[in-house]
Amino acid sequence: MGFTKRRTGLRFRSRRGPHLGERWFPAALVALALAVFAIVFTCDGPVLGAGSARAASGAQSVRFAMCSGPVRENCVVDGDTFWFQGEKIRLSDIDAPEVNEPQCQREAELGARASARLLVLLNGGAFRLQAGDRDRDRYGRLLRTVSRGGESLGAVLVREGLAKQWRGSRGRWC
């Protein structure tokens, strides 16, 4: 390798010739394009959660806790609402019992159990957030179906008797 002086200044000159980079660069571009294509067309939504908070950016894993205090980052509010990366999200496919203003003791107990179970489900590994017909509800919460392995986490709560399938309005728990 050596240097040659040209009118514009010093320039690097390789003994291998000018075609070294031209051999690997097109192959790398093709490989990158195929990888992006595979990711875009095989995923049905962003993979998020305990295993990979932001799969695309490689951020650290996320652990959920029960919400308390004014700062709401990654926490569970109740059986159908949680905060994720600063966004309040409502599970769009279910209705869970209220914990803040329950109408009876049974609703309060079911609400506490549903909240605890949602916490366990969210911390169980990576999950997908999928938008439906509407992006937000009247309270500004993101409406999303949350799934893992093709199964809705809301459906798990319904199957376990801790929530009801969403029918357009809140159900009665008393």
What is the per-residue DSSP string for 133-152? EEEE-TTSPEEEEEEETTEE
Distance CA 111, CA 114 (A): 5
First to last CA, the chain: 83
Distance CA 12, CA 15 (A): 10
pTM listed for this prediction = 0.66
Domains belonging to the chain, first-starting first, are 2-42 (no CATH), 47-165 (2.40.50.90)
3-state secondary structure of 81: strand
Say yes or no to pLDDT of 4 above 80.
no
Say yes or no to pLDDT of 65 above 90.
yes
Question: Which one has a higher pLDDT value, 31 or 102?
Answer: 102
3-state secondary structure of 23: helix
Say yes or no to pLDDT of 77 above 60.
yes
pLDDT digits (tens, 9 = 90+) for 83-97: 999 999 999 999 999
In degrees, rounded to 5, the angle at the alpha carbon of residue 104 between the alpha carbons of residues 78 and 80 is 15
pLDDT digits (tens, 9 = 90+) for 116-149: 999 999 999 999 999 988 999 999 999 999 999 9
pLDDT of amino acid 11: 53
pLDDT band at 7 (very low <50, low <70, confident <90, very high): low
pLDDT digits (tens, 9 = 90+) for 14-64: 455 555 445 544 554 444 444 434 433 334 445 555 544 343 333 346 899
